Each structure stands twice: as C-alpha cells, then as structure tokens.
Chain A
C-alpha cells in the first residue's frame, strides 16, 4: 500500500507531463 502511493505519484506525474507536452506540441502545430 505504501509502495502503491509512490507508484501512483510517479505514474501520475509522468502521464501528466506527457499529456502536457503532447498538448503543447499540438497547439504549436495548429
């Protein structure tokens, strides 16, 4: 359960950053 907390933190951050970068790149392309 403790490990899960750290995994959720890292996964959520990585996904967030990837989505953020994807949207930023897409916005620049438009």
Chain B
C-alpha cells in the first residue's frame, strides 16, 4: 500500500511525533514518587478525578484502529457504517457510565475486590470462576495487544520510513517506561495528554476533509453525483444496503454486516476489563458522577468527527490516484485517512494528526498492560503465594508489565494465520465473556456461579470458533453477535435454573 508522505530536509511531522513520545515518557516520572504501594502503582492511589477518569477511559477504548480503520471504513462501506458505528458507541458509552460505573464502584468499595476476576470470585463465591476470568483476560488481552501494536507501529514505520520491527519498539518502549516508572497515575495523566491530542487530531482531520469538499451537505451532493472506479455510483454510499465489500453486496448482506460490526465494536465498552478497572481508581463517587457528563461527550465527539470521513475521501484522493491504488485502498481502508491528509494538510499540522493514532495506540497499550499485570499479580500470584511486602508486590507488578508488553511483539511480527485470526477475534470475545458475569451480574442477584462460569466459557469458545470457521465463510454476521447472544442466554438460563448456594 502506498502512502504519500512528503519528506523535507527537516521533517517537522516526525519531530512532532518524537516530541509527543518524549513528553509521554517525561510524564511517567510525575507518578514516580507516589508509586510505593501496589494500590498506588495499579490504582493511582484511588485518586483519579472526573476529567482524568473520563479522558483515560475514552483514550484507552479508542486505539489507532479507531483512527485508521474507523476513519477509513466508509471509503469501502456506505455511510450507514459511520452512522451506526457512532450510534452504538454513544449507546455503549452511556451504558458504561450510567449503568455500570457507579454500581461497580460501590461494589468494589464495599468488598475491596481489586481486580475483575476477584470481583467475579467475590460475587459468585467461586475461585474457579476467578481462575477462568483471569485466564481469559491474560490470554485475550495479550492477543488484543497484538492488533493495537500492529496498527500503531505501522504508522510509525511509514512516517519515519523504518522497519516495522523497529517501529514496534519505538511504540512499545516509551509506554513500557512510563507505566513501569509511574504506574496507573502516569498512564492516566498520559491518557489526558494523549487523549486531548487524539481529539485535536480528529477535529483537524474532520475540518480539513470537510473544508476541502465544501462541508458535509455539499460533500454528500458531490458524492451522489460521482461514480467511483467507473462502476460504483456514489449513491451507493447513501444507502444502508448500498456499498460494502463486493462479496457481501452480491449476497445482499451489507446491512447485517454493518450492524453486526458496529454493534460489536461500539457496545464492547460496557464489559471490557481494561476500562472497568479504571473505575476502581476513581477518587470518589463524585468523580464518577461528573465523569458521566464528560465521558460520553468525549467518546461521542471523537466518533462523530472520525467515523464518516472515508466516503468523503473519494472526492479528494481518487482523482490523484490510479485505479489500482483506489482499488487497493478500498481493500485496505486503514490508509485512506493518512493518504488523504498527506495530500491536503500542510506539514506541522500533519504531524499532529499523524501523532493521533500513535497516541491512541499508546493509551490503549498502557491500560491494557496494567490490567494484565493486575490480573497476574492479584489473581495468579497472590492466591497461591501471599506476598505481604508492598515493595515486592510493586516489583512483581512491574515485572509482569514488562513481560506482557513484550510478549505481543513477536506475535505482531508473525504471519501465522491462526494467530492473525485469534487476534482479530479477541476484542469482541472479551466483551462476550464478561457482559454476563460482570455487567449483568452486578445488578441481578439471582445470577449464579454455574451461569457465570458457563457464560465465560461459551463466550470465549463461540467468539473464537465462529470468527475462524464461520464468519465470512458462511455468514456476514460478526462473531461477537453469536458469542454475546449465547453467553447471555447461557447466563440467564443457568441463573434461573440453578439454585444459589
């Protein structure tokens, strides 16, 4: 895939990215002193206010994929994808903040459960459920990190014209430094800094693309009068059953494909442990109460700015590219936004925009690694070897952070199809596994141990096997949908039919 990046003697865009990465490392040292206990290291001493919390959760949730794939998606899909991806994100974030956050905070405050698996053990009085939850978190989040690493590193590799493996290290090592030095406090402050950068990058991208096409309404008019690649009328982008992957169009499956992917990505927020864990670090209930206003606005703003831009990019870049290049971009939409901004944005501002997806990757990596480290220490080491010395616990958490941020690197370099499929399936599968035991279980008193265990296992098995064996081969319904339905059904039926002990 060709990405047009203008090189100058002094590459100001690369310099901006360098400054952003260096600043994130410097921020790591802010949290250094307040990092002596495991509560300080993993939960920022439970002192996160509403702004830090809201920015941290938004920027953890959005990885580089939200900028690259999310921004470019409607270059291939019709605008229904952008509209419904935005809608499900707004619905998801409202459920997260209004339904889950306070309840989770109350439960954690009452029980002092310090990890999602520990909460599950406490809620269902089952150590087995805790072990299964821990295993799922460690395995699937490690796989999920592979996709986050890939999308962030490829931007760095293109921008600096360097090898992908070196780009991976440039992405991961700074995050590793700031989380090991500063723990969750550094990660949260960085999430505020990098999250702001993401929003600025999204706003600039929206502004430049919309200015170029004469605004949204004028852009839509132009799009409907255009024919893409000489064979696709622009009108196809204005119908939910219009443009999509050619195979899905042939099978009249575009609407179901769009709705299932949009639902899977947007609703995942309500049960992702790397987001839920951050409510543990809230200063008090007031922080969550105020965060309820800020958090949804941030997520919705980013979604509204980014998720519908790809279609308008046709009006900007298609006449500057060959037919083969447009066809290639429609197959790999990740490069639509970087290619577009490289053509219409001046150096400097372009660097700020390109720093957006890199920042998005860094923020997601930080909190996901801390979530894995927390699970390793709290759920895999402490139940078997009671470590009382705080400094040893902190050291163990730091070693776990280093290990689990390095493990995805070789996986990101492999071309093994099994690993690629597992990575692609992991995000939605995590949601399917925890929607019952955590999100519903917080409210439903009748929820049982057997239901929680079976729901997690069914969610994991269905999510992975459907993605690898059925999705795109026999149906265009994304694996998250059947995994979530089966997991919730199992959770509900078993909770009703099994007696609580």
A residues with CB within 8 A of B: 1-6, 8-9, 12-13, 16-17, 19-21, 23-24, 27
Query: Is B304 in contact with chain A by the CB < 8 A criterion?
Result: yes
State how many angstroms separate the Cβ of A24 from the closest Cβ of chain B: 6
State how many angstroms separate the Cβ of A23 from the closest Cβ of chain B: 7
17 A-B pairs, CB-CB below 8 angstroms?
A1-B239, A4-B83, A6-B87, A8-B87, A8-B90, A9-B83, A9-B87, A9-B89, A9-B304, A12-B87, A13-B90, A13-B297, A16-B296, A17-B293, A17-B296, A17-B297, A23-B292
State how many angstroms separate the Cβ of B49 from the closest Cβ of chain A: 14
Taking CB atoms, residues of chain A closer than 8 Å to B84 are 5
Evaluate contact between A12 and B290: CB separation under 8 angstroms.
no
State how many angstroms separate the Cβ of B109 from the closest Cβ of chain A: 17
The total of interchain contacts (Cβ-Cβ below 8 angstroms) comes to 66
A5 to B78, CA, bound (A): 12
A13 to B86, CA, bound (A): 11
Query: Is B349 in contact with chain A by the CB < 8 A criterion?
Result: no
Taking CB atoms, residues of chain B closer than 8 Å to A21 are 293
Of the candidates A3, A24, A27, the one whose C-beta lies within 8 Å of that of B83 is A3
Evaluate contact between A24 and B289: CB separation under 8 angstroms.
yes
Evaluate contact between B289 and A23: CB separation under 8 angstroms.
yes
State how many angstroms separate the Cβ of A27 from the closest Cβ of chain B: 6
A2 to B300, CA, bound (A): 17
Given contacts A3-B83, A9-B300, 9 further A-B contacts (CB under 8 A): A2-B83, A8-B87, A8-B90, A12-B87, A16-B97, A16-B98, A16-B296, A17-B297, A19-B98
B residues with CB within 8 A of A: 78-80, 82-84, 86-87, 89-91, 94, 97-98, 238-240, 255, 286, 289-290, 292-293, 296-297, 300, 303-304
Taking CB atoms, residues of chain B closer than 8 Å to A3 are 83
State how many angstroms separate the Cβ of A1 from the closest Cβ of chain B: 4
Taking CB atoms, residues of chain A closer than 8 Å to B304 are 9
Taking CB atoms, residues of chain A closer than 8 Å to B79 are 2
State how many angstroms separate the Cβ of B67 from the closest Cβ of chain A: 18
Of the candidates B78, B239, B293, B296, the one whose C-beta lies within 8 Å of that of A24 is B293
A19 to B300, CA, bound (A): 16
Taking CB atoms, residues of chain B closer than 8 Å to A24 are 289-290, 292-293
Evaluate contact between A13 and B83: CB separation under 8 angstroms.
no
A8 to B8, CA, bound (A): 45
A27 to B98, CA, bound (A): 14
Of the candidates A2, A9, A20, A27, the one whose C-beta lies within 8 Å of that of B238 is A2
A6 to B292, CA, bound (A): 21
Closest to A17 in B: B293
Contacts known (A12-B91, A19-B98); A5 close to B296, Cβ less than 8 A:
no
Q: Considering the complex of A and B, which 4 residue pairs feature the smallest CB-CB distances, nearest first? A: A5-B83, A20-B293, A1-B240, A5-B84
State how many angstroms separate the Cβ of A2 from the closest Cβ of chain B: 5
Evaluate contact between B297 and A6: CB separation under 8 angstroms.
no
Taking CB atoms, residues of chain B closer than 8 Å to A6 are 83, 86-87
Contacts known (A13-B90, A27-B286); A20 close to B83, Cβ less than 8 A:
no
State how many angstroms separate the Cβ of A14 from the closest Cβ of chain B: 10
Evaluate contact between B289 and A27: CB separation under 8 angstroms.
yes
A8 to B82, CA, bound (A): 12
Taking CB atoms, residues of chain A closer than 8 Å to B240 are 1-2
Closest to A21 in B: B293
Taking CB atoms, residues of chain A closer than 8 Å to B82 are 5
Evaluate contact between A9 and B90: CB separation under 8 angstroms.
yes
Taking CB atoms, residues of chain A closer than 8 Å to B97 are 16, 20
Closest to B241 in A: A1
Evaluate contact between A20 and B296: CB separation under 8 angstroms.
yes
Taking CB atoms, residues of chain B closer than 8 Å to A9 are 83, 86-87, 89-90, 300, 303-304
Closest to A5 in B: B83
